[in-house]
Structure 1
Amino acid sequence: MIRFRLLSLLLLLSIGSWAQQNQSAPKPLPRLAGTARPNAAQPRNVIFILSDDHRYDFMSFMKPAIAPWLQTPNLDRIRREGAHCPKAFVTTALCSPSRASILTGLFSHQHTVVDNVAPEPPTLTYFPQYLQQAGYQTAFLGKWHMGDEDDRPRKGFNHWVSFRGQGVYYNPVLNVDGKRVEHRDSAYIADVLTDYALNFLNRRDKDKPFFMYLSHKSVHHQFQPSRADRNRFAQSPIQYPASFYQTDPRNQNPETKESGVPHWVRRQRYSWHGVDYLYHGSTTFDSFVRDYCETLRSMDTSIGRVLKYLDDNGLAENTLVIYMGDNGFMFGEHGLIDKRTAYEESMRVPFLVRCPALIKAGITVAQMIQNVDVAPTILELAGLQKAPQMVGRSIMPLLQGQSVPDWRDKIFYEYYWEYDFPHTPTVHAVRTDRYKYVRYHGIWDSNEFFDLEKDPQEMNNLIKDPQHQTTIKEMANQIYDWLESTGGMEIPLKRTVKPRFGDHENKNTY
């Protein structure tokens, strides 16, 4: 009896210790039994390809005004053989928040990954977890970039290949299923990731559907193309956007001179993210654009290898391929580079979809879509209903040319001030097909209002125009209604360590 009581006591102590260690662990993912879509077809294979900082119009079929000589033959092929969503937007034009919205189907203030160093909450559920439950084999390959420098394997993926932080273009060190693997001999990151992707496709279980998330480093600064594309566009002329000189105090042209541009935008012209001192003068604007285009061409070539694999292995007809960028990028518009703002070039992204068995060639989707729609769309392809917490919607009906009368008529945008890049304030915006209203928080400056139909380049701020005051008031209220209804009235603060002023080398101070 004494021995039995002793064993019972030890067992209770062990259970208590385990419970104490795991009391903050996230709850298990709920099973999806009973959530299959009615009359769902056989689950489809899905390849989701994400690029970094690729703006919506920088594909050769779009004939970008800044670089009309750009060549992206494989992205052009996806568009030609599938669907193009020219009005695709992100909820936040920044790497980590956008990636979290793609994976969770939530707005940034909901998943709280509000910047590039904010830790990801352990309670988040990523849509590949649902795919795993439905019998999919899943793989992640490339840039994760949530949780700062952490590249450890994440939940939802059977196979994992990633790197720390932004990574490098040449000779990367990768985390392959928890093990460090070095690549040398001028190994190029887009080529290396594609090698891993094709290896996964070769070794997969042919009796199970697959989901592959190929997340390229390209085209993030510092731009570096493959050796094959280096100097490909070295002599190509750059066409500056109309608003390039808008904030230049030397500009005397009334057609391109500033019209209600906020002071913080004007001051940013000569800064890290301004055209007169971009990245602290480390490159010229023309070289900057050419390097970007050459790096983009290198990634396009790697995408072509994936398409060829599908062709050669009988997978092209029934595999859904989605290509998009995590945010846009500005090339001189309003005197700025980079992203973060609510201007079109920043918040708008390329979005292409191809699956000949489901989508007719040449489809153009007229409606506005967002990155929060990715997860519900892929879940539908798996024969599953979207998870109840997701705020996005499946775009499959739109891709198939169906009428969706209750589709959204506006999209919302948010960006939260960052310690490391303090020159861009907190931003909230709402955009319809006709108008855009942008509200700045934490700064004493002018808000912005644009008539996108008459002023697609957003050069004439109508915030003080008497004719638009009713619309401006309505759109301002729409932002607050959106935030109130989705739990966004409090700015998500994160516990992060910052250096003391003037002591940027010591990262262990508060």
Structure 2
Amino acid sequence: MKKTICFSSLFLALILNSAVSFANIDPKKSIKKKPRNVIFILTDDHRYDYMGFTGKVPWLETPNMDKLAAEGAYLPNAFVTTSLCSPSRASILTGQFSHTHTIVDNQAPDPGNLTYFPQHLQKAGYQTGFFGKWHMGDHGDEPQPGFSHWESFPGQGVYYNPTLNINGNRVAYKDSTYITDLLTEHAVDWLEKRDKKKPFFLYLSHKAVHAGFQPARRHKRKYKGKKIALPKTYDQTKTGAYRDLKWPQWVADQRISWHGVDFMYHDNRDLHEMVVDYCETLLGVDESVGTVMEYLKKEGLDESTLVIYMGDNGFSWGEHGLIDKRHFYEESVKVPLLVRCPELFQGGKTPKQMVQNIDVAPTIFDVAGVKKPDYMPGVSFVPILTGNTDAPSRKEVFYEYYWEYDFPMTPTVFGMRTDKYKYIKYQGIWDRNELYDLENDPDEMYNLIADPDKQEIVKSMASAIYDWQEQTGGMNIPLKRTVKYRYGDYRHKNEY
């Protein structure tokens, strides 16, 4: 195996007193049983703790997600490598970092040389189906490699009355057809009609719960008037306290912007009302999970099928005065990750080890009996689920986000997180970096970047980030050809 996983042994020795590396993993220990059926359910902008069982929002009800967690595992420390739709989806599908697959934002096109992990499953005899949002780079709805059945729509899609590209033929739906229900219905129908002699892989990719939030009509107004407890860091950029807390100036400036709580999406809507819409929209996704699980139980497949539920990125609701994603704060970079397979591991687990979206493909390969390609830096998290304490666990996650022409409020970000510390550094902006003690400051309120006794930690983490970038070919920022056609307004050339 290439030594691309152990990026910072020096830092780990200093901070964690551990030099354990993923490079020690023996690929021969992957599961050798018959290939398992796999269902991967991906949602959009679903924050990691917005599920009923977490208690984060006391009035939010997600009984099917709750059941999935109770009968399987909830991994509360699941992270993406880039908190943005297209880069994250590309990292899931390729098992690579954003700077490697180069789909660094929502407009960057597929470079044409990528291999998606379902292509390997097809070669292993799997029948594969994709249903829903592709939106990986500036791509339309055309069928993609790796899927024997394809149903999708262009870009973000719509919540009501969508048009689906079904294996190359576009079908328009009317009569208030709701996209979450439609995708679920078609996915289950495909499962019903599949070849029962072959293993299957289902990729159900929901549009929900992306802004602007539109719940199914049956869920509208269910939570009307409900409110959330505002985060501890909500008011700091408004009162000026962020200066004493040593936050970067760009965070305060973004408060009154597209991604700030005082001008959310350039509107004056109430934050609590938007959260209600978000949570009501999530109810359709929860019912989708229930429908899929009911089908598996009916067919006698619920014990042996690996079911993974995940979000493509997190979402802020007022933390640091921000909404949406892109930044490296916890609520933006963490995603919900629920996994269930009773024949593989006992339920009720909440393993604290860190995993990333680049680990999804290796995990699915593990249970499918497919060898992981050497170019994938991630590893299977099956040992975490099965309680294999001899298997090394991830000691660090790395993060990257590249400044966007269309959303210039957030600078280029590089970061590293361990169980103890988070270091965030910015590129191309004259501002201060950030260091947080996550054990003592989980809300990331007190920036320790200037503390004299933390300078060795800062130096070690900064060095580790450079090591990671050098070893994975990430020292150059991927640029795209763009056109400025009007003052203050940029568009990518491939939009013309």
Distance 2:322 2:334 in 1: 16
Aligned pair 1:260/2:246, yes or no?
A: yes
Cα distance, 1:424–1:397 mapped onto 2, change above 3 Å = same
Distance 2:30 2:293 in 1: 31
Tell me how far 1:235 sits from its aligned partner. Answer: 2.1
**Quick one: which amino acid aligns to residue 467 of structure 1?**
D
Which segment is superposed worse, 109-118 or 236-245? Answer: 236-245
Secondary structure of 1:420 counterpart: coil
Deviation readout 1:127-172 (Å, 9 max, x if unpaired): 1000000000000000000132411100000000000000000000
2:45 to 30, 46, 53: 53
Deviation readout 1:24-53 (Å, 9 max, x if unpaired): xxxxxxxxxxx9977711000000000000
| Structure 1 outlier segments of 4+, above 2 Å | 35-39, 404-408, 494-510
Tell me how far 1:499 sits from its aligned partner. Answer: 3.6
Tell me how far 1:303 sits from its aligned partner. Answer: 1.4
Distance 1:506 1:429 in 2: 27
The answer for the alignment partner of 2:32 in structure 1 is: 40
Within a 5 Å distance, the mapping from 1:27-426 to structure 2 comes to 40-64=32-56, 67-249=57-239, 259-281=245-267, 283-426=269-412
Q: Is the Cα contact below 8 Å between 1:436 and 1:449 reproduced in 2?
A: yes
Tell me how far 1:497 sits from its aligned partner. Answer: 4.6
Distance 1:505 1:490 in 2: 22
Distance 1:497 1:132 in 2: 40
Tell me how far 1:314 sits from its aligned partner. Answer: 0.9
1:439 to 425, 428, 442: 425
Tell me how far 1:284 sits from its aligned partner. Answer: 1.7
Percent of paired sites with the same residue: 59
Which segment is superposed worse, 175-184 or 234-243? Answer: 234-243
Within a 5 Å distance, the mapping from 1:408-487 to structure 2 comes to 408-487=394-473
Secondary structure of 2:486 counterpart: coil
Which segment is superposed worse, 292-301 or 146-155? Answer: 146-155
TM-score scaled to structure 2, two decimals? Answer: 0.92
Deviation readout 1:444-486 (Å, 9 max, x if unpaired): 0000000001100001111111111111110010000110111
Q: Is the Cα contact below 8 Å between 1:398 and 1:404 reproduced in 2?
A: no
**Quick one: which amino acid aligns to residue 60 of structure 1?**
G
The answer for the alignment partner of 2:24 in structure 1 is: none
**Quick one: which amino acid aligns to residue 64 of structure 2?**
N
Cα distance, 1:429–1:231 mapped onto 2, change above 3 Å = same
Secondary structure of 1:428 counterpart: strand
Tell me how far 1:185 sits from its aligned partner. Answer: 0.3
Q: Is the Cα contact below 8 Å between 1:43 and 1:383 reproduced in 2?
A: yes
Unaligned segments of structure 1, at least 5 residues: 1-34
Unaligned segments of structure 2, at least 5 residues: 1-26
Deviation readout 1:96-128 (Å, 9 max, x if unpaired): 000000011101101110000000121111110
Q: Is the Cα contact below 8 Å between 2:96 and 2:376 reproduced in 1?
A: yes
Tell me how far 1:506 sits from its aligned partner. Answer: 11
**Quick one: which amino acid aligns to residue 331 of structure 2?**
E
Secondary structure of 2:320 counterpart: helix
Distance 2:231 2:140 in 1: 38
Distance 1:37 1:460 in 2: 43
Equivalent residues, number: 470
Tell me how far 1:494 sits from its aligned partner. Answer: 2.2
Secondary structure of 1:109 counterpart: helix
Secondary structure of 1:170 counterpart: coil
Tell me how far 1:365 sits from its aligned partner. Answer: 1.5
Deviation readout 1:257-316 (Å, 9 max, x if unpaired): 851111100000001100001011152211111100000112111111111111111110
Cα distance, 1:215–1:258 mapped onto 2, change above 3 Å = farther
Q: Is the Cα contact below 8 Å between 1:497 and 1:509 reproduced in 2?
A: no
Distance 1:502 1:50 in 2: 35
Deviation readout 1:342-397 (Å, 9 max, x if unpaired): 00000000100001111201112221000000000001111112111100001111
Distance 1:38 1:343 in 2: 33
**Quick one: which amino acid aligns to residue 81 of structure 2?**
T
Q: CA RMSD in A?
A: 1.8
Distance 2:272 2:327 in 1: 22
Secondary structure of 1:310 counterpart: helix
**Quick one: which amino acid aligns to residue 133 of structure 1?**
K
Secondary structure of 2:237 counterpart: coil
TM-score scaled to structure 1, two decimals? Answer: 0.89
Secondary structure of 1:398 counterpart: helix
Tell me how far 1:406 sits from its aligned partner. Answer: 2.8
Distance 1:258 1:271 in 2: 22
The answer for the alignment partner of 2:18 in structure 1 is: none
Could you say which structure has the larger radius of gyration? 1
**Quick one: which amino acid aligns to residue 163 of structure 1?**
F
